[in-house]
């Protein structure tokens, strides 16, 4: 097992040396993708999003050069014309596995507006993040992009699982890289720390476990703790009664039929819903995907069961043996009070540094974190883009792997 990049645990704002390149972000949210570029040495010159609370977080943590506007209705200014790297994460709910997956969802076409900004500003490279389901839209996107951009860019798409890129979280995403033809043939991607497998439970040597990433935060919901946002949103009575009977790595399917609560008692068990509902992660593995919802029957938001031990300098998570808490009829009962993951735990799983403080109420904070790109993954993407901008087609020959940490 490896550990988080050291800067994730910094409580005071620390940034690396500048690389002489600029970046801008559209549909930027609270700034996960943009902060990754900043951690790679880019200078942020502009950002925009329609969520005023997320823009507040961006201004307070990434750069003051951010405005709250509806990019689909606003006139394109020249504020970031000639920027080196353009970043963006157009909303993807219509393609997300966590959503209703409506093909007619108008948000599915917001990338059209993103492309109009690319055409106007002509960045050397653009990076666009989206969910895995966007791959089905990529042929249409690529065809439309070539028309809008007059064939000035080569377009590439690649699927990534972020746990292989320094992130303690299994997050399945697609990145579109557009490389201006006079810059390089492209593409250049970061190298995974281990061979990638699209399976959550498969162990690998460079994994950063939930325990390793989160245990030093100490007890959750402690008013005397070091982190004011290490607080969990309380579970309701029904959710609480279900969560207490789910072991680590389990879900609703692990509760025997006769012990199911009223909402699920007597229902036909299916392979999809029952394995998805009320999932509880494995502390010895990277976390499951952090999303904007905190509904435990919908999102992987439950904290795992563990004993917390205080050492001289920090805290440690100690595993429990679920067999000790499982009856002969198969009913597991947690020895701990079930809870959601805290805001700071979710931020850690997304590799936001500890000095990054989110604006808004708890539900606003969870939404911002869940919609963001993991910062360390974004840093590695931006590091690769910087090498391509600086060295062009020689980037592969002069660049080292992009899997290292910055101190």
Q: How many domains does the chain have?
A: 2
Helix (H) or strand (E) holding 361: none
CA pair distance 286, 44, nearest whole angstrom: 30
**By residue range, what is the domain housing residue 300?**
232-341
Q: What is the CATH number of the domain that holds 19?
A: 3.40.50.150
pLDDT of residue 268: 83
Task: Point out the domain boundary residue: 341, 359, 386.
Answer: 341
Task: Tell me, yes or no, whether 179 lies in a domain.
Answer: yes
Classified as helix, coil or strand, 385 is helix
pLDDT digits (tens, 9 = 90+) for 104-138: 555 557 888 999 999 999 999 999 999 888 888 88
Residues 391-404 have a mean pLDDT of 68
State whether 72 and 149 are in the same domain. Answer: yes
- Chain-centre distance for alpha carbon 173: 9
With a CB cutoff of 8 Å and minimum separation 6, the contacts of 169 are 162, 163, 286, 287, 288, 289, 290, 349, 350, 374
**DSSP secondary-structure letter at 288?**
P
State whether 195 and 297 are in the same domain. Answer: no
Task: Tell me, yes or no, whether 218 lies in a domain.
Answer: no
Q: Is the peptide bond before 39 cis (omega within 30 degrees of 0)?
A: no
Q: Give the residue numbers annotated as catalytic, written as ranges.
A: 92
State whether 309 and 375 are in the same domain. Answer: no
State whether 35 and 167 are in the same domain. Answer: yes
95 half-sphere exposure, CB direction, 13 A CA radius = 22
pLDDT of residue 311: 93
State whether 156 and 16 are in the same domain. Answer: yes
Classified as helix, coil or strand, 302 is strand
pLDDT of residue 69: 96
Task: Tell me, yes or no, whether 215 lies in a domain.
Answer: no
Task: Tell me, yes or no, whether 226 lies in a domain.
Answer: no
What pLDDT band is residue 341 in, cutting at 50, 70 and 90? very high
Task: Tell me, yes or no, whether 237 lies in a domain.
Answer: yes
| Residue from 205, 203, 211 nearest 193 by CA | 205
Residues 338-358 have a mean pLDDT of 98
Question: What's this model's pTM, rounded to 2 decimal places?
Answer: 0.93
State whether 302 and 391 are in the same domain. Answer: no
State whether 325 and 376 are in the same domain. Answer: no
pLDDT digits (tens, 9 = 90+) for 226-273: 899 999 999 999 999 999 999 999 999 999 999 998 888 888 887 667
State whether 394 and 245 are in the same domain. Answer: no
State whether 18 and 112 are in the same domain. Answer: yes
Residues 213-231 have a mean pLDDT of 95
Residues 180-208 have a mean pLDDT of 92
State whether 169 and 315 are in the same domain. Answer: no
Task: Tell me, yes or no, whether 220 lies in a domain.
Answer: no
Query: How many Cβ atoms are within 10 Å of 343's Cβ, its own excluded?
Result: 25
Which residues face 67 on adjacent strands?
48
pLDDT over 50 at 223, yes or no: yes
Task: Tell me, yes or no, whether 142 lies in a domain.
Answer: yes
pLDDT of residue 275: 83
Task: Tell me, yes or no, whether 308 lies in a domain.
Answer: yes
Residues 143-147 have a mean pLDDT of 92
pLDDT over 70 at 92, yes or no: no
pLDDT of residue 76: 92
Express as a percent the part of the chain with pLDDT over 70. Answer: 93
State whether 46 and 117 are in the same domain. Answer: yes
State whether 317 and 168 are in the same domain. Answer: no
With a CB cutoff of 8 Å and minimum separation 6, the contacts of 264 are 252
């Amino acid at each position: 097992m490896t550990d988080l990049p050291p800067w994730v645990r910094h409580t005071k704002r620390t940034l690396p040396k500048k690389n002489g390149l600029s970046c801008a972000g559209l549909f930027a949210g609270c700034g996960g993708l943009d902060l990754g570029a900043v951690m790679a040495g880019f200078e942020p010159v502009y950002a925009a999003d329609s969520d005023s609370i997320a823009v507040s977080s961006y201004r307070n943590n990434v750069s003051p050069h951010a405005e709250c506007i509806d990019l689909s209705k606003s006139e394109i200014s020249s504020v970031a014309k000639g920027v080196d790297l353009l970043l963006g994460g157009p909303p993807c709910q219509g393609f997300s596995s966590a959503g209703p997956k409506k093909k007619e969802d108008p948000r599915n076409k917001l990338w059209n507006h993103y492309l109009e900004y690319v055409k106007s500003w002509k960045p050397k490279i653009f990076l666009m993040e989206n969910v895995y389901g966007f791959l089905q839209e990529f042929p249409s996107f690529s065809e439309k992009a070539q028309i809008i951009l007059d064939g000035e860019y080569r377009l590439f798409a690649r699927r990534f699982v972020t746990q292989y890129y320094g992130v303690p979280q299994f997050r399945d995403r697609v990145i579109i890289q557009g490389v201006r033809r006079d810059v390089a043939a492209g593409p250049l991607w970061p190298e995974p720390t281990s061979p990638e497998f699209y399976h959550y439970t498969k162990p690998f040597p460079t994994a950063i476990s939930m325990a390793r990433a989160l245990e030093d935060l100490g007890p959750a919901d402690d008013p005397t703790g070091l982190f004011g946002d290490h607080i969990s949103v309380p579970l309701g009575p029904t959710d609480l009664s279900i969560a207490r009977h789910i072991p680590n790595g389990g879900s609703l399917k692990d509760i025997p039929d006769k012990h199911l609560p009223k909402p699920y008692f007597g229902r036909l068990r299916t392979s999809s819903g029952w394995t998805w509902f009320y999932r509880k992660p494995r502390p010895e593995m990277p976390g499951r995907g952090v999303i904007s919802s905190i509904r435990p029957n919908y999102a992987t938001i439950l904290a795992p069961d563990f004993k917390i031990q205080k050492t001289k300098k920090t805290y440690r998570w100690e595993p429990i043996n679920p067999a000790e808490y499982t009856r002969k009829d198969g009913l597991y009962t947690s020895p701990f009070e079930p809870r959601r993951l805290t805001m700071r735990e979710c931020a850690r799983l997304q590799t936001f540094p500890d000095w990054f403080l989110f604006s808004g109420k708890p539900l606003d904070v969870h939404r911002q974190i869940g919609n963001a790109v993991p910062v360390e993954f974004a840093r590695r993407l931006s590091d690769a883009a910087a090498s391509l901008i600086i060295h062009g087609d020689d980037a592969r020959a002069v660049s080292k792997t992009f899997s290292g940490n910055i101190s």
